[in-house]
């Protein structure tokens, strides 16, 4: 094997029985897997044997309810940090990334929890910083309406700065724990944040020593102008959705340019689009699996998924075989995903039914159905044409679909020198090629 000039980063995006909307209805699926620790242990250990950089868990702090939602399996799931803490005990190398919203949490809690996970895992934690895009979450936290899009991102930026400031509460060697002298920590190496800002007032310091990685890896997933700017200034990894390579290339260049303009190097940020994948030994077998899944999509579940992805709109009054209606720009959902799906429907003249079937597997992410060579060819093209630094892999079905990806695609990528054959480091930063940050002694902007 000849090592390629660049190698891919790979994340395993965990999602109950699979990313396809109908995966839970397959005859060999267990719809209870979303609350099965052995299920997630098996996936994480499979991903680690395949040398994946990380496993990743998305999250929402609201149940999936509303028109058609009772026909989809997205309403009962583990809290992600609790699950990743358990997975940290049964893995030793793979990274552990969880989504936690800045809209309905407090910075001190988030800083402490991720620092704890980094210690528990020996330096493998990552925080996917998001602003909630589910309007239903507001009612669970004392609000009658969601934050506006602009306010969500203003709050997120301050939230990030407070969390990273708290992670730098202590120098790396502050805790001497000297039993002979009786000195537990060196006071000169303690740094009190004492933040006062428009959204948060946080005294500090954090009540846990500095994390093994210095700071857990910060991940971001926004693609609106505000989301891109936040990512360029704060993120070390960006998860993103693009159905085709040209939009992904434009996004990739934009984020790297913005990061450079913010005083960062282009290599300091890794861009990992989602990859919705169905792979089998032959193209025909993969296409047959895809057809089986598509046949199991319930129309009301499909409409509910589309309504949610378009920005929390009610589509129940519109005929499934009619066109997508003109919708105002969402203020409670993902503006970038709304624009992506609306453009897809308009460009291809898709009906509501055709559009929800198009996104049933990947929710607007890049999708590939085929054999290992087909999938590897697509991944290599995206890497070499600067559309991606890696992928957040989204199997249509767990566990068979992910087992097949690891057994078929990963060896093909390794044969081409595009992916590691063994871990060379122990931390998530090591896997991603990210530097360990020194403690920052900077004022937090008000």
Kindly report, residue by residue over 353-390, the tens digit of the pLDDT. 888 888 888 888 999 999 999 999 999 999 999 999 99
Q: Phi, psi at residue 55, to the nearest 5°? A: -105, 150
Provide mean pLDDT across the span 119-145: 89
Is 111 within a domain?
yes
Q: What was the pLDDT predicted at 327? A: 85
What residues make up the domain containing 214?
Answer: 9-432
C-alpha dihedral sign at 144, 146, 151, 153: positive
- Quickly list DSSP for 263-301: T--GGGSEEEEEEEEEE-SSHHHHHHHHHHHHHT--HHH
Residue 1 has pLDDT above 60, yes or no: no
| Pick from 227-236, 292-301, 305-314: least confident | 305-314
* Structural domain includes residue 1: no
CB within 8 A of 388, min separation 6: which ones?
Answer: 8, 248, 252, 271, 272, 273, 379, 382
Backbone CA torsion sign across 316, 319, 320, 323: negative
Average pLDDT in the 21-27 region? Answer: 93
More confident residue, 329 or 250: 250
Which range among 166-170, 187-191, 304-308 shows the weakest confidence by mean pLDDT? 304-308
Of 14-28, 115-129, 431-445, the range with the highest mean pLDDT is 115-129
Question: For position 119, which CATH number holds?
Answer: 3.20.20.30
Q: Is residue 335 part of a domain?
A: yes
CA distance 207 to 7: 38
**pLDDT tens digits for range 26-51:** 999 999 999 999 999 999 999 999 99
Other Cβ atoms less than 10 A from the Cβ of 136: the count is 18
Percent of the chain with pLDDT over 90: 70
SS3 404: helix
Identify the residue with better confidence: 215 or 357.
215
Question: Is 94 within the bounds of a domain?
Answer: yes
Q: Describe the chain by its helix, strand, coil percentages, rounded to 5.
A: 40, 15, 45
pLDDT of residue 304: 85
pLDDT at 417: 98
pLDDT at residue 139, as a whole number = 86
Tokens of 121: 């895992």
The domain total for the chain is: 1
What is the pLDDT, as a whole number, of residue 313? 83
pLDDT over 90 (residue 428): yes
Instruction: Establish if 361 belongs to a structural domain.
Output: yes
Residue 438 is assigned to a structural domain of this protein: no
Structure confidence at residue 400 as a pLDDT band (50, 70, 90): very high
- 375 by DSSP, 3-state: which? helix
Measured distance CA(279)–CA(119) in Å, rounded: 36
Mean pLDDT of the chain: 92
pLDDT tens, position by position, 235-269: 999 999 999 999 999 999 999 999 999 999 999 99
With 70 as the cut, is the pLDDT of residue 445 above it? no
268 in a domain, yes or no?
yes
pLDDT band at 333 (very low <50, low <70, confident <90, very high): low
Look at residue 4 and tell me if it is in a domain: no
Residue 2 pLDDT class (50, 70, 90 cuts): low
């Amino acid at each position: 094997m000849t090592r390629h000039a660049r190698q891919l980063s790979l994340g395993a995006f965990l999602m109950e029985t699979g990313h396809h909307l109908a995966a839970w209805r397959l005859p060999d699926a267990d719809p209870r897997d979303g609350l099965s620790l052995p299920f997630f242990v098996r996936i994480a250990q499979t991903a680690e044997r395949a040398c994946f950089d990380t496993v990743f868990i998305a999250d929402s702090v609201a149940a999936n309810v509303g028109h058609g939602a009772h026909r989809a399996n997205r309403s009962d799931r583990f809290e992600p940090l609790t699950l990743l803490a358990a997975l940290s005990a049964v893995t030793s190398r793979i990274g552990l990334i969880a989504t936690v919203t800045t809209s309905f949490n407090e910075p001190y809690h988030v800083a402490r929890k991720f620092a704890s996970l980094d210690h528990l895992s020996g330096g493998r934690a990552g925080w996917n910083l998001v602003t909630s895009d589910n309007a239903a979450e507001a009612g669970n936290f004392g609000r009658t309406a969601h934050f506006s899009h602009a306010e969500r991102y203003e709050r997120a930026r301050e939230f990030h700065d407070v969390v990273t400031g708290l992670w730098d509460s202590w120098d790396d060697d502050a805790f001497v724990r000297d039993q002979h002298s009786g000195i537990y920590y060196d006071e000169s190496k303690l740094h009190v944040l004492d933040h006062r800002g428009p959204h948060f007032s946080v005294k500090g310091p954090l009540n846990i020593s500095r994390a093994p990685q210095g700071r857990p890896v910060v991940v971001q997933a926004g693609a609106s102008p505000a989301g891109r700017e936040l990512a360029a200034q704060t993120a070390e990894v960006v998860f993103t959705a693009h159905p085709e390579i040209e939009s992904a290339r434009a996004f990739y260049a934009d984020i790297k340019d913005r990061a450079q303009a913010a005083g960062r190097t282009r290599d300091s940020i890794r861009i990992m689009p989602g990859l919705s994948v169905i792979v089998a030994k032959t193209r025909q077998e993969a296409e047959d699996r895809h057809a089986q899944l598509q046949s199991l999509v319930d129309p009301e579940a499909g409409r509910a998924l589309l309504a949610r992805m378009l920005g929390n709109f009610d589509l129940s009054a519109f005929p499934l075989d009619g066109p997508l209606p003109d919708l105002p720009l969402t203020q409670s959902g993902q503006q970038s995903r709304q624009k992506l799906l609306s453009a897809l429907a308009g460009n291809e003249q898709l009906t509501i039914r055709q559009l929800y079937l198009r996104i049933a597997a990947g929710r607007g992410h890049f999708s590939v159905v085929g054999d290992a060579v087909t999938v590897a060819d697509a991944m290599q093209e995206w890497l070499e044409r600067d559309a991606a630094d890696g992928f957040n892999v989204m199997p249509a079905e767990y566990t068979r679909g992910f087992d097949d990806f690891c057994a078929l695609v990963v060896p093909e990528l390794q044969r081409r020198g595009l992916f590691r054959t063994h871990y060379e480091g122990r931390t998530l930063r090591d896997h991603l090629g990210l530097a360990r940050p020194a403690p920052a002694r900077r004022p937090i902007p008000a």
